[in-house]
Amino acid sequence: MSHRYDRVRRIAGLHPARDHLEIYQISAGLEFPWDYTRALEQALFRTYCVPSISRLLAATGEFEKRPQKRYDDTALLMAEIAAHGYDSPRGREALKVVNRMHGRYAISNDDMRYVLSTFIYDPIDWLSRYGWRPLHINEKLAAFHYYREVGRRMGIRDIPTSFDDFAVLKRKYEADHFVYSATNRKIGEYTIGLFAAWFPGFLRPAVRLGVRGMLDEPMLRAFGLEPAPHWVGALSEAGLKTRAAIVRLLPPRRTSVLGVSRRNRTYPGYPTGHRPADLGAPAPPADFPADHLRRGD
Name the phi and psi angles at 105, rounded to 5. Answer: -115, 155
Is 80 exceeded by the pLDDT of residue 282?
A: no
Judge whether 269 lies within some domain.
no
Judge whether 294 lies within some domain.
no
Judge whether 181 lies within some domain.
yes
| pLDDT in the model for residue 105 | 80
Q: How far apart are CA 186 and CA 97, in angstroms?
A: 26
Is 90 exceeded by the pLDDT of residue 289?
A: no
Closest to 29 (Cα-Cα) out of 268, 260, 274: 260
Is 60 exceeded by the pLDDT of residue 19?
A: yes
Which is it for the CA torsion 117, 213, 183, 172, positive or negative?
Answer: negative
Q: How far apart are CA 221 and CA 202, in angstroms?
A: 28
Q: Could you read off the pLDDT of 106-116 as tens digits, one per residue?
A: 789 999 999 99
| pLDDT in the model for residue 287 | 62
Residue 152: which domain range?
Answer: 15-251
Instruction: Give, in order, the Cα–Cα distances in Å from 128 to each of 54, 124, 135, 279.
Output: 28, 6, 7, 32
| pLDDT in the model for residue 279 | 67
- Per the model's pLDDT, the better-predicted residue between 1 and 238 turns out to be 238
- Report the range of poorest mean pLDDT among 117-131, 147-161, 246-260: 246-260
Whole-prediction pTM value? 0.90
- The percentage of the chain sitting over the pLDDT mark of 70, rounded to a whole number, equals 86
Judge whether 268 lies within some domain.
no
Q: How far apart are CA 44 and CA 48, in angstroms?
A: 7
> Contact 226/220 with Cβ under 8 angstroms?
yes
Is 60 exceeded by the pLDDT of residue 296?
A: no
pLDDT, average across residues 229-245: 95
Closest to 26 (Cα-Cα) out of 104, 119, 143: 143
Judge whether 146 lies within some domain.
yes
> Contact 122/40 with Cβ under 8 angstroms?
yes
Half-sphere exposure of 230 (CA within 13 A, CB side): 0
| pLDDT in the model for residue 232 | 95
Q: Confidence class of residue 44 from pLDDT cuts 50, 70 and 90?
A: very high
Of the ranges 138-147, 193-202, 265-274, 279-288, the best mean pLDDT one: 138-147
- Per the model's pLDDT, the better-predicted residue between 90 and 285 turns out to be 90
| pLDDT in the model for residue 1 | 43
Angle between helix 89-103 and helix 67-84 axes, rounded to 10 deg:
140
How deeply is 45 buried, as exposed, middle or buried, from its count of CB atoms within 10 A (0-12, 13-18, 19+)?
buried
| pLDDT in the model for residue 278 | 64
Mean of pLDDT over the chain = 90
Q: Could you read off the pLDDT of 50-81 as tens digits, one per residue?
A: 999 999 999 888 888 888 888 888 888 999 99
**For every residue of 195-245, which 3-state class applies, written as one string?**
HHHCCCHHHHHHHHHHHHHHCCHHHHHHHCCCCCCHHHHHHHHHHHHHHHH
- The H-or-E segment that residue 104 falls in is none
Q: How far apart are CA 46 and CA 178, in angstroms?
A: 9
| pLDDT in the model for residue 103 | 81
Is 70 exceeded by the pLDDT of residue 264?
A: no
Is 50 exceeded by the pLDDT of residue 6?
A: yes
Judge whether 132 lies within some domain.
yes
pLDDT, average across residues 199-212: 94
Q: Could you read off the pLDDT of 161-176 as tens digits, one per residue?
A: 999 999 999 999 999 9
Judge whether 64 lies within some domain.
yes
Give the distance, in angstroms, between the CA of residue 182 and the centroid of all CA atoms in the same chain: 23
How deeply is 86 buried, as exposed, middle or buried, from its count of CB atoms within 10 A (0-12, 13-18, 19+)?
buried
Judge whether 256 lies within some domain.
no
Number of domains within the chain:
1
| pLDDT in the model for residue 76 | 87
| pLDDT in the model for residue 62 | 80
| pLDDT in the model for residue 30 | 96
pLDDT, average across residues 93-97: 94
**Angle, CA of 280, 167 and 34, to the nearest 5°:** 50
**For every residue of 42-83, which 3-state class applies, written as one string?**
HHHHHHCCCHHHHHHHHHHCHHHHCHHHHHHHHHHHHHHHHH
